[in-house]
């Protein structure tokens, strides 16, 4: 791996030493985020300053995690950091760009620079799919195309690479020159020019002129000038494609079928066709762009023809979900431009389960010159796609768009997202497909969540104050250096992932752990920035895992090799992972005899081991303490061996909630807190833990029954004396166990026990409230939670509290409170 000394970097950046502690150090990795630190001994941290964040505030955090090289632009107190090198520059962002540009100069391979309003990431990913057999490719991770993303992408360039593909994205004048200096593309690609991010430019021509600066030193620029008209594209070395015979690649026919498109083309020396598994216009244009690049690079057509049929879609930010009242929600609430609107409308059209189609649309961010033509085009699309109802958010859509479609489409206009949220129930969405489309600043994702939200008179109340106190109680048993990994899998033991994760983030937990990738994705979308371990990653979710900076647990060679292959395919190295060792649980994990082979793989540059851990099988059981200590011995042996094979340290952890209380000597570097956070533990009394969950429902109806009457299905509940029977709004579909029927379980009404009578139904349960005074329809009922312990209810159901808590249905509303 190519690396540089700190002195070399100081020279390149014309930097001065604020503190020079160790000039023998070298740099392999660049960091801008103290929360994502890989290989700290060889990392260089740039303290970037933005409007909202000052990277200098996170130097201590990075230093405490092992980073010793820092680029700063303001003086800092160096006394707390005696072994750190501090290089002082005028501007840390420009220094980052300057260093990446100098790194780029060390290579003379072909470098492709891609810019355009849409399609950059798709073209880059498809080129990788098409050319990976012919080149060792390095490319931008996903859409790293900004002033910060580009230098981080280019820094990944290494001597083994034979082709580089980098994206360049801009949002205002004056930005492209810096990116051109870094990428220095030998081949340029221009995809499209649209109004997306247009607010930073006077007009579309001005935007195109800025983008063309990327090609200042390019040998060729691949694009379709005829698609750009009436804009003027002034480049001397254009390798063009289009319908005109003057193009280098002439498109003679495009034949769309049900699920694929065949594109016929010719050049001076070749005539042929390709078939792609897509039918939309954007995919056709992106495919022709990729074809033109392959032909320019003189890749034999026979080598790539079949590869076009195997092109895979690149994930876009369109979410399709089931909504309330038999609706389907398409959530594209992150961007607002004509091109992406057309893509979203195509998806709307494909959802054939509902005849009615509605759009919730925010203002677009446009210049004054663009507004009239853009909203006229949107009006045409609304009519073309037979939209039944338009809901506008913002003043511009109300004034400029609504009148254009009012005769053919029902229109409702709101000034703000808050106003729409308040009036949402009155719109009466049902039996329809709803597209939510808007600029990120309007935060229409809030509306999507409301439309997806499930409401129910049965509620699970979560006491956040109790959770906080329970965590602090566990911390009293830990050394100051011991980290905490909080388990938020299974919807945080039924209590709600985001809200609990937000509390844990506020309390500065060190790690979160989820069971599956989608749980981690939901936390990221909700703004959780803590490191997250995914305990059961699946290959089909690797894209989402990487996109959202999630860290997988690797427990077998099959998942290890699958993830290794994926990272190599994506051009990603040193990705953080967690290794699980089987010390006796015999569920998941590497066995002792597999460690030698495991170590050989971990020595590669593909992974960075963040932690090694195991799972105690019976930490709560005094009768199994000898086995618990045997597990700990095997774990220590495994960790010692792996540490001897790796040239960096990792976190060790084996204690869970029960183990933290009963076996504090096994806390090692980190403990995993799960159900103990909610006050449920065999040793709860030792720490005075508080149960944090209370499941409550209400009485739907009260009946007065006489001897001989029966209650419920199959007449299981038999009345033997005059009785008052209350039907409450909870059943097995909500997670209330069916085996609590016929008096096996009870609930509390006014603090009194009300036994279950008859069989627990799907949505309802009947209680015998005879003898309980002053009970009325609508009164609250405690299903479990103080004073009726969830542990007690679990015993009645012949199960454990874990199962009862995690089995609470998502249709049960979660209510969070703090005393």
Residues classed as catalytic: 489, 713
The radius of gyration of the chain from alpha carbons, rounded to an integer in Å, stands at 31
Two tokens, residue 113: 């620079």
Two tokens, residue 250: 């002439």
Could you say which DSSP state residue 314 is in? P
- d(CA 551, CA 397) in angstroms, rounded, equals 42
- d(CA 632, CA 615) in angstroms, rounded, equals 10
Sheet of 137-139, strand order? 137-139, 163-167, 111-115, 187-190, 220-223, 238-242, 249-256, 261-266, 271-276
In order, the DSSP letters of 776-816 are -TT-EEEEEBTTB-HHHHHHHTTS-HHHHHHTS-TTSEEEE
- d(CA 165, CA 134) in angstroms, rounded, equals 14
- d(CA 214, CA 112) in angstroms, rounded, equals 10
- d(CA 420, CA 427) in angstroms, rounded, equals 9
Q: Which residues contact 317 (CB under 8 A, 6 or more apart)?
A: 332, 334, 335
Burial 256-288 (b: 16+ CB within 10 A, else e): eeeeebebebebeeeeeebbbebeeebbbbbbb
CB 124 within 8 A of CB 165: yes
Burial 457-476 (b: 16+ CB within 10 A, else e): ebbbbbbbebbbbbbebbbe
Burial of 222 (0-12, 13-18, 19+ CB in 10 A): buried
Two tokens, residue 711: 């209650």
Between strands 746-749 and 752-755, the pairing is: antiparallel
Two tokens, residue 257: 């079928």
- d(CA 221, CA 248) in angstroms, rounded, equals 12
Could you say which DSSP state residue 223 is in? E
Two tokens, residue 694: 């209370």
Contacts made by residues 315-318, CB under 8 angstroms, sequence distance 24+:
315/543, 315/544, 315/547, 316/343, 318/343, 318/344, 318/347
Burial 408-421 (b: 16+ CB within 10 A, else e): ebebbbbeebeebb
State the virtual CA torsion across 525, 528, 532, 538 in degrees, nearest 10: -10
- d(CA 497, CA 305) in angstroms, rounded, equals 46
Residue 196, helix vs strand vs coil? coil
**Cα dist. 630→182, 618, 619, 638, 666 in Å?**
55, 12, 12, 13, 12
CB 394 within 8 A of CB 442: yes
Q: Characterise 698 by phi-psi region: left (phi > 0), alpha (psi -120 to 50), beta (else).
A: beta
CB 153 within 8 A of CB 179: no
CB 297 within 8 A of CB 110: yes
């Amino acid at each position: 791996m190519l690396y540089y000394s700190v002195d070399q970097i100081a020279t390149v950046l014309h930097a001065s030493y604020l503190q020079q502690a160790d000039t023998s150090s070298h740099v392999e990795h660049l960091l801008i985020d103290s929360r994502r630190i890989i290989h700290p001994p060889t990392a260089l941290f740039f303290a970037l300053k933005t409007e909202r964040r000052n990277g200098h505030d996170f130097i201590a955090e990075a230093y405490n995690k092992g980073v010793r090289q820092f680029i700063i632009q303001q003086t800092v107190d160096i006394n707390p950091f005696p072994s750190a090198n501090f290089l002082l520059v005028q501007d840390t962002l420009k220094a980052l760009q300057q260093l990446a540009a100098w790194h780029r100069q060390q290579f003379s391979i072909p470098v492709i620079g891609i810019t355009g309003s849409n399609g950059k990431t798709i073209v880059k990913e498809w080129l990788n799919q098409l050319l990976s057999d012919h080149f060792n490719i390095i490319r931008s991770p996903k859409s790293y195309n900004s002033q910060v993303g580009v230098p981080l992408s280019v820094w990944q360039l290494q001597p083994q690479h034979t082709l580089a593909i980098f994206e360049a994205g801009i949002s205002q004048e004056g930005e492209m020159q810096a990116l051109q200096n870094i990428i220095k593309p030998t081949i340029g690609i221009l995809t499209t020019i649209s109004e997306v991010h247009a607010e930073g430019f006077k007009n579309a021509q001005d935007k195109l002129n800025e983008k063309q600066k990327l090609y200042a030193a390019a040998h060729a620029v691949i694009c379709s000038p005829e698609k750009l008209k009436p804009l003027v594209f002034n480049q001397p070395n254009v390798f063009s494609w289009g319908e005109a015979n003057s193009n280098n690649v002439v498109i003679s026919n495009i034949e769309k079928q049900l699920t694929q498109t065949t594109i016929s083309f010719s050049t001076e020396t070749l005539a042929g066709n390709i078939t792609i598994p897509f039918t939309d216009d954007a995919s056709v244009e992106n495919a022709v762009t990729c074809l033109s690049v392959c032909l320019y690079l003189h890749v034999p057509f026979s080598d790539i023809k079949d590869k076009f049929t195997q092109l895979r879609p690149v994930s876009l930010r369109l979410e399709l979900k089931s909504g309330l009242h038999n609706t389907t929600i398409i959530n594209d609430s992150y961007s607002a431009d004509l091109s992406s609107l057309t893509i979203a409308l195509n998806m709307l059209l494909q959802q054939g389960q509902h005849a009615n189609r509605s759009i919730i649309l925010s203002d677009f961010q446009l210049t004054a010159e663009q507004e009239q033509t853009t909203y006229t085009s949107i009006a045409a699309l609304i009519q073309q796609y037979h939209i039944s109802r338009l809901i506008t958010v913002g003043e511009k859509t109300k004034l400029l768009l609504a009148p254009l479609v009012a005769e053919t489409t029902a229109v409702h206009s709101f000034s703000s997202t808050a106003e729409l949220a308040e009036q949402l129930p009155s719109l009466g969405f049902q039996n329809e497909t709803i597209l939510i489309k808007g600029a990120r600043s309007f935060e229409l994702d809030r509306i999507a969540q409301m439309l997806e939200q499930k409401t129910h008179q049965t509620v699970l109340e979560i006491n956040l104050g109790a959770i906080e106190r329970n965590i602090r109680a566990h911390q009293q048993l830990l050394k100051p250096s011991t980290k905490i990994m909080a388990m938020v899998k299974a919807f945080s033991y039924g209590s709600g992932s985001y809200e609990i994760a937000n509390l844990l983030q506020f309390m500065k937990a060190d790690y979160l752990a989820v069971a599956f990738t989608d749980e981690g994705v939901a936390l990221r979308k909700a703004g959780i920035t803590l490191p997250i371990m995914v305990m059961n990653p699946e290959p089909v979710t690797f894209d989402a895992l990487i996109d959202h900076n999630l860290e997988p647990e690797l427990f077998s060679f099959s998942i290890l090799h699958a993830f290794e292959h994926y990272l190599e395919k994506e051009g990603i190295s040193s990705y953080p992972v967690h290794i699980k060792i089987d010390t006796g649980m015999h569920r998941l994990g590497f066995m002792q005899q597999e460690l030698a082979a495991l170590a050989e793989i971990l020595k590669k540059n593909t992974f960075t081991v963040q932690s090694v851990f195991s799972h105690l099988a019976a930490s709560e059981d005094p009768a199994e303490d000898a086995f618990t200590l045997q597990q700990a011995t095997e774990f220590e042996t495994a960790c010692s061996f792996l540490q001897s094979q790796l040239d960096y340290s990792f976190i060790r952890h084996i204690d869970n909630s029960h183990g933290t209380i009963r076996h504090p000597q096994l806390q090692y570097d980190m403990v995993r807190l799960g159900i103990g956070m909610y006050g449920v533990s065999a040793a709860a009394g030792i720490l005075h833990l508080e149960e944090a969950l209370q499941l409550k429902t209400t009485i739907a109806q009260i009946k007065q029954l006489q001897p001989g009457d029966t209650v419920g299905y199959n007449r299981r509940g038999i009345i033997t004396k005059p009785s008052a029977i209350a039907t409450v709004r909870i059943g097995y579909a909500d997670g209330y166990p069916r085996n609590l029927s016929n008096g096996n379980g009870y609930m509390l009404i006014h603090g009194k026990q009300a036994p279950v009578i008859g069989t627990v139904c799907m949505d309802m349960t009947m209680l015998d409230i005879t003898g309980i005074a002053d009970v009325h329809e609508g009164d609250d009922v405690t299903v479990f939670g103080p004073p009726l312990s969830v542990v007690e209810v679990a015993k009645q159901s012949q199960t454990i509290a874990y199962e009862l808590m995690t089995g609470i249905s998502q249709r049960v509303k979660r209510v969070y409170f703090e005393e």
